[in-house]
Structure 1
Amino acid sequence: MAKTGRATGGGAPRRAGSMKPDELAHAAIMAALCAATAIIAVVVPFAAGLSVLGTVPMGLLAYRHRFRVLVAATVAGGTIAFLIAGFGGLMTVVNCAYIGGLVGIVKRRGRGLPTITVSAVVAGAAFGVVGVGFLLAFSRIRDLIFASVTANMNGIAAVLDRISGMERAAQQLRDGFGTVLSYWPVLIIGSSILSIGSVTLIGWWALSRVLSRLSGVPDVHKLDSDGSTEPVGPVPAEFRDVRFRYDGAAQDALGPVSLTIGEGEHVAVTGPNGSGKTTLMLVLSGREPTAGRVERPGAVGLGKVGGTAVVMQHPESQVLGSRVADDVVFGLPPGTQTDVDRLLAEVGLDGLAERDTGNLSGGELQRLAVAAALARQPTLLIADEVTSMVDQQGREGLIEVLSGLTKNHRMSLVHITHYNDEAASADRVIDLTGNGGSADNVEMVSTSSPPDATSPQTRRGGSPLLELTGVGHEYGLGTPWASTALRNVDLVVNEGDGVLIHGLNGSGKSTLAWIMAGLLTPTTGTCLLDGKPVTEQVGAVAISFQAARLQLMRGRVDMEIASAAGLDYYDHSQIVAALAMVGLDPAIGLRRIDQLSGGQMRRVVLAGLLARKPRVLILDEPLAGLDAASQRGLLGLLSSLRRDAGLTVVVISHDFSGLEELCPRTLHLLDGGVMATPTTAGGVG
């Protein structure tokens, strides 16, 4: 997490001290998942078996964090489940915490089946002893339970009496049960050991496989929590022949790199996708290099006051508070004095302290992330492609904020970017192309003026394919927090057409994309594909999400492309052809998804979609995270496919540089509605 770092993976939890903000966040999320599973298992008829799913989040907590984090999640999840589903929900959460916690702790300590078996027997005996003690203390409840069980046994014996030849068995059941019941403490302890032991072993069998698989998926881009006790001093930082290679990778992701980040310096880091920009950020923020050394005067201090702060490119992943003011101070040590209003004014959010963070635009969220970083008074601030997901207006505002940080604060700024105008505002530029260097990259992306809007109903090329009439959408319809995302959108997309849907963050572009792909039903109006509702033809319209990582479901690149495109995995020629189509080397097919850069992930998604040969291809912010060369190559490919193969393309973007050939038509959105079409002749083209 950008503000406080993230807990290290399985096997390295903190051992002392109060719960940290990242632990609280993990406990809250996992508690909510477990509680939701427990409530469904209790409330929905015949869904009790789903309760086993609740062991997964609890097992992950126990596997990756301290025991107190599991306890906190159990209390929180149990409280939620009790308030909604009663005592049954509470006990379901407790059972999930017991099984998941036991399996997670045993796995974390490297133990196996013998340990879990002994633990299950001990736990079963303990629960049995507690049960016996309870029944000894409350004799009336014991008598009631015994009478009920005896009545059930007598009922079974009565049924057996009616079956020819089973009369003797029925009498033996009556006599035998009476004898067994006289030794009820042994019966209860034995049944407790049997039931709890069997459930624990089943949970071990299932959950250990889940944990083993998850442990094999490295979170390669995580920020390691800094547990150092030495004084904080992240700069000046001097890299001496630093290399970094991710586990299981065939080649270095970074290096060799030799550079220095000085005190109070504003440094821009550029380079193509895969050149190691994000890896450099990880090493700067505390990840140990695999070769070479990094010299600093003190500890990195990730997330600590006076240490290192990181702002990343996806702003929604960094916001934890429900109010703007709460998010600025989230995770700060108790008693820290922070002038929230001054920080918000500095980043351009003056007067928004009481705003709900859910109502902020992408640019505003990124400004908030910068304010939260500044609240820690960092000596080193790292901004990793913070403008790639915001519109032009938001980008300009962010750059203005970033450019003044080293002048207004005693801090160093490392800004990782693809844009030449952003790099030009730095004191120095480090280009990671090849083996690193210091020359500016003249190939960086430039900006241009947006194209004029064309008529939404203008028909070009083939016959109408996608037809939107009066489309509107309202989130939270019928609730007090309802919000309108789209209103009265009319659009005709013809076969072989290229349409750019342009607008600022929050204008409704992504909502419109989901409706056109059939993934969202409009609140009003219709969206038809070949004259039929597109919601009935999900898959005919392919869509590339704005966050590419969320669309990649397999562990390896070749498996992902084969799955997404419906290809024969063993026919590698098809996968190689799909990779080549988006400019990726065939060797990347054997790499894990989590070893790719953001731009490479986006191209892998496109490779899978293009190999499916869809009727319509919708690209939601396709240029975000791509370097200039990748952008030009991708746009050239899509333009040729549209021109020569008749591919129908709809691009959702706040960027418009170089899109003229791919998208001759433009639709401008503003606050969920279509902006008026210009009346001049030049406005229709």
Structure 2
Amino acid sequence: MRPVEFAHAAITAALMSAIAVLSMVVPGAVVFAWAGAVPMGVLAFHHRARAAVATAMASGMISFLLAGFGGLVSAWTCVYMGVICGQVRRRGRGRGTMLAVAGLWGIVVASAVFTFLAVLADLRTVVLGAFAANVHGLGALFETVPGGAGAGAALHRLADVGLERWPVFVWVSVWLIVVFGCSFAWRILTPVLRRVVATSAAPQDLFPVEPDDGAPQPLPMALRHVDFRYPGADRDTLRDLSFTVGPGDHVAVTGANGTGKSTLMRLLAGVAPTGGTVERPGPVGLGKVGGTALVLQHADSQVLGIRVADDVVWGLPQGIEVDVDGLLTEVGLAGMGDRDTSGLSGGEAQRLAVAAALARRPALVVADEVTTMVDRAGRADLLGLLGGLSRHHDLGLVHITHYPEEAAGADRTVDLGTARRASAPAPSARTTARPPLGAPVLTLRDVHYEYDAGTPWSRAALRGVDLTVGDGEAVLLCGGNGSGKSTLAWVMAGLLEPTAGSCELDGAPVSEQVGAVALALQAARLQLMRGTAGDALAALAGYRSDDGAAITGALAAVGLPADAADLLVDRLSGGQLRRVALAGLLARNPRLLILDEPLAGLDLTSQRELIDLLVAVRDGGQAMVIISHDVDHLDRLCDRTVHLARGVVDAEEVA
């Protein structure tokens, strides 16, 4: 099994086991067990049959140990229903095929149960006796209800027939249960798998799995007239690209959003181009010792260890000696080996990702937009660290960035140019003056927040914050990494309740009004939970997915054309992702809009366009809080700047 199959099978088996056990211990929840067919169906749709077999064995064993034979039967019932529906969908067939397969499988299961009960006479007596007792009891209950005598008598006759003609009764009953169960699973799986199909055109394997056919040799590497086009796309993402990378080289790759920088990162990591050639002396060796190491934009996605020192060596094969303390010192994390990784700032997490990459003694390091989530001071330190890698280690470095100034220290620069931007209607312009600021919408008084409060691992993030936001006001909240900005955002949105102090929206605790404050996350992709932009917007806004007029209106409000609704979410640029998420949030008419690092990952043109959009939103009377460490371009949007340091308001400035 491939790692992704193994991981998916393990998660699915655990979920199905939990459902099976609950169905046995919660009275009246037997039918609920059939919901386990949903995760099983998704797994069967995505992966080969061996993943389903592994899931069946694991879930059956866990369920049997926790709930006995009944749990085993419940888990395996979910298995066959999910596998039948998922595999039929995987092959592009419909309901008729599913019923035919379920009918044939029903014959197998019914025959097996009949044989089982025929051989084990004592068990047959117990099973049929329990069935008759339950049906007779239900019949007696109906007889006490006015008008229920007929139904009660019918149930008594059913129990008697089941005992007298048990072979036919058992066979037919089991067959019907199988067919009905698969039909039920098909019905509830259909909308789920429809969403899966909607995203199936998007690239599924971000990085290829190489055969283990020798030591990695990614350098020297030469890209010669390389093109790359995603399946279903109408144009190339990369076109006629040529450059080389050798040991000791520091190559910067620049370009606007949408020019293919992250696509190029995938090619460097081993994805085959659709045109041209990528020449290497040996395997890429992604993540392997002596191969290629990636340092990604969101360091949190790469931090897996609980302690800093654990993360440096995470995934390395046994027998590889690593000077953990030396690497941590080199990247500026000296003495932090025992620290909890969850408490690292953005800059510290990126440094840890670099240390983990160096622990693999890579021949090639690819750093993709690594300064995006780092404050100004941390950005300068991180760029200094990256600049020294190719000088202090025998490796090649490719630094991908949309900031031209970050490429200054490279040996040479590959400029991917400016993206072709689709024409889009401008957001509706206001014809009247901006309304005056109103009374306070949000009020924070002496707000404290402590993670893991009351435990030895407690950590104070906020230490007495006082802040007000007026109706129609735009407030910029800035501070370095680790200053408490994101924690404060979650408190203001009502998702975290202050450990002490109060946070009130219109005079009432905001934690009791979750949804009245809209929070746009740093990574906009995490808020778009459907395959296409239109469906994702609808889910975020609370619209029906077929309400085209509402979706078109919401897109127009953020300067996106109506046909953007049909775009796959995974094909949207960084700016488009933020606009779609913003459209969904604004459609809910929030009392307060909070945007956490809205400019992160955007080139200068996309930043200006987003700020223009937010100015129009602000001028419409929307109160908002902008959280950012990038303050250079936000002065014309925000009325006031609040500086946060070590969890307290350090200073305020009026723009």
Normalised TM-score (structure 1): 0.79
In 2, the alpha carbon distance for the partners of 1:56 and 1:116 equals 15
- Counterpart CA distance in 1 for 2:65 and 2:460 is 32
Say whether residues 1:365 and 2:349 are aligned partners. Answer: yes
- Taking the aligned partners of 1:296 and 1:120, their CA distance within structure 2 comes to 50
Give distance in 1, aligned partners of 2:641 and 2:262: 34
What letter corresponds to residue 548 of structure 2 in structure 1?
Answer: Y
Provide closer, same or farther for how the CA distance between residues 142 and 594 of structure 1 changes in structure 2, counting only shifts above 3 A: same
Pick the aligned partner of 1:64 from 38, 43, 46: 46
What displacement does 1:37 show? Answer: 4.6
Residue number in structure 2 paired with 1:225: 208
* 1:631-680 deviation per Cα after TM superposition (whole angstroms, max 9, x unaligned): 234335535664x55543311123322333333533333343334x49xx
Residue of structure 1 equivalent to 2:644:
669
Per-residue deviation, residues 333-382 of structure 1 (Å, max 9, x unmatched): 56555554444444334444454433333333323333333343333222
C-alpha distance in 2, partners of 1:172/1:220? 57
1 CA distance for matches of 2:155 and 2:9?
49
- The residue type equivalent to 2:411 in the other structure is D
Contact kept? 1:21, 1:331, Cα under 8 Å: no
Q: How does 1:29-428 map onto structure 2 within 5 Å?
A: 29-35=11-17, 37-38=19-20, 48-74=30-56, 92-108=74-90, 116-117=98-99, 119-121=101-103, 123-128=105-110, 131-132=113-114, 135=117, 139-152=121-134, 181=163, 184-217=166-199, 218-220=201-203, 222-228=205-211, 231=214, 232-333=216-317, 336-428=320-412
Does 1:521 find its partner at 2:497? yes
Deviation at 1:44, TM superposition (A): 5.8
From 616, 623, 637, the counterpart of 1:648: 623
User: Which residue does 2:416 correspond to in 1?
Assistant: 432
The letter for the 1-side match of 2:354 is: V
Aligned length: 635
- What is the identity, as a one-letter code, of the residue corresponding to 1:527? C
Q: In the aligned structure 1, how far is the partner of 2:625 from the partner of 2:616?
A: 15
Contact 2:38 2:185 (8 Å CA) reproduced: no
- Give 1:659's aligned residue: 634
Tell me the equivalent position of 2:461.
Answer: 485
SS of the aligned residue for 1:239 comes to strand
Shift of 1:573: 7.5
User: Does the aligned pair in 2 maintain the 1:269–1:431 contact within 8 Å?
Assistant: yes
508 and 398 in structure 1: CA distance in 2 versus 1, 3 angstrom threshold: same
Q: Does the C-alpha gap of structure 1 residues 483 and 661 become closer, same or farther in structure 2, counting only changes over 3 Å? A: same
Separation (CA, whole Å) in 1 of partners of 2:151 and 2:491: 66
Q: What is the RMSD computed on CA atoms of the aligned residues?
A: 4.1
Please tell me the residue identity of whatever aligns with 2:279.
E
User: Does residue 578 of the first structure (1) align with residue 557 of the second (2)?
Assistant: yes
Distance 1:577 1:625 in 2: 23
Alpha-carbon deviation of 1:268?
1.2
Would the alpha carbon gap of residues 295 and 102 (structure 1) be closer, same or farther in structure 2, given more than 3 Å must change? Answer: same
Distance in 2 (CA, whole Å) between partners of 1:302 and 1:243 is: 21
Provide the rounded CA distance (Å) in 2 between the counterparts of 1:168 and 1:29. Answer: 48
1:91-129 per-position Cα deviation (integer Å, ceiling 9, x unaligned): 544433332234334444556656645654554455445
Deviation at 1:204, TM superposition (A): 3.3
Alpha carbons 1:281, 1:382 under 8 Å: kept: yes
Asked whether the equivalents of residues 241 and 257 of structure 1 are also in contact (C-alpha less than 8 Å), the reply is yes
Moved more, 420-429 or 266-275: 420-429
- Among all aligned residue pairs of Structure 1 and Structure 2, give the percentage whose two residues are the same amino acid: 51
- Relative distance call for 1:142 and 1:267 in structure 2 (3 A) is same
CA contact (8 A) 2:299 2:346 kept: yes
* Aligned mates of 1:366, 1:386 — CA distance in 2: 7
Structure-to-structure mapping, 1:628-639, within 5 angstroms: 628-639=604-615
Shift of 1:323: 4.1
The 3 A distance-change label for structure 1 pair 607 and 62 is: closer
Q: Could you list the runs of 5+ residues in structure 1 that have no partner in the other structure?
A: 1-18, 437-459
CA-CA distance at 1:134 after TM superposition: 5.2
Which runs of 5 or more residues in structure 2 are unaligned?
Answer: 421-435
Structure 1 letter corresponding to 2:369: E
AA partner of residue 47 (structure 2): H
Label 1:112 to 1:326 Cα distance change in 2 as closer, same or farther (>3 A): farther
Q: 1:503 to 1:521 in 2, by over 3 A?
A: same
Asked if residue 569 in structure 1 is aligned to residue 548 in structure 2, the reply is yes
CA drift at 1:563: 6.7
Distance 2:34 2:121 in 1: 34
CA contact (8 A) 2:555 2:583 kept: no
Q: Is the 8 A contact 1:559 1:569 kept in 2?
A: no
**Contact 2:257–2:402 under 8 Å retained in 1:** no
Q: Secondary structure at the match of 1:522?
A: coil
Matched to 1:656, the amino acid is V
Query: Does structure 2 retain, via aligned residues, the 8 Å contact 1:499–1:650?
Result: yes
1:214 deviates by 0.3
SS at match of 1:570: helix
Residue in 1 that maps onto 2:523: 547
Q: 1:300: Cα distance to partner?
A: 3.1
1:504 equivalent in alignment to 2:480? yes
SS in 2 for 1:550: helix
Question: AA paired with 1:58?
Answer: M
Does the CA-based 8 Å contact 2:35-2:185 persist in structure 1? Answer: no
2:250 counterpart letter in structure 1: H
Aligned partner letter, 2:637: L
The one-letter amino acid paired with 1:473 is Y
SS at match of 2:625: strand
- Distance between the aligned counterparts of 2:251 and 2:461, measured in 1? 39
Does structure 2 retain, via aligned residues, the 8 Å contact 1:106–1:115? yes
Q: Does the residue aligned with 1:63 lie in a helix, a strand or coil?
A: helix
Q: Give CA-to-partner distance per residue, 1:484-528, whole Å, 9 cap, x none.
A: 433322111223433222233333212221222334433432222
Cα distance in 2, alignment partners of residues 157 and 618 from structure 1:
60
Q: Which moved more, 1:110-119 or 1:509-518?
A: 110-119
Per-residue Cα deviation, 1:208-238 (whole angstroms, up to 9, x for no partner):
5533430321443752322346554433333
Q: What is the distance in 1 between the residues matched to 2:25 and 2:462?
A: 35
TM-score, length-scaled by structure 2: 0.82
Q: Distance in 2 between the 1:56 and 1:128 partners?
A: 23
Aligned counterparts of 1:617 and 1:175: Cα–Cα separation in 2: 65
CA apart distance, 1:595: 0.5
Which residue is 1:619 aligned to? 595
Q: 1:259 and 1:211, CA in 2 relative to 1: closer, same or farther beyond 3 A?
A: same
CA distance change for structure 1 residues 464 and 32 in 2, over 3 Å: closer, same or farther?
Answer: same
Structure 1 contact 502–509 (Cα < 8 Å) conserved: yes
- Give the residue type in structure 1 aligned to 2:176: L
Q: Counterpart of 2:375 in structure 1: which amino acid?
A: D
Residue 25 of structure 1 pairs with residue 22 of structure 2: no
> Are the equivalent residues in 2 in contact too, given 1:622–1:653 (CA < 8 A)?
yes
Q: Quick one: structure 1 residues 343 and 206, their matched pair in 2 at CA, closer, same or farther if it must change by over 3 Å? A: same
**Which has the larger displacement, 564-573 or 158-167?**
158-167
SS at match of 1:252: coil
- Structure-2 change in CA distance of 1:202 and 1:369 (3 Å): same
Separation in structure 1 between the aligned mates of residue 390 and residue 467 of structure 2, nearest angstrom: 47
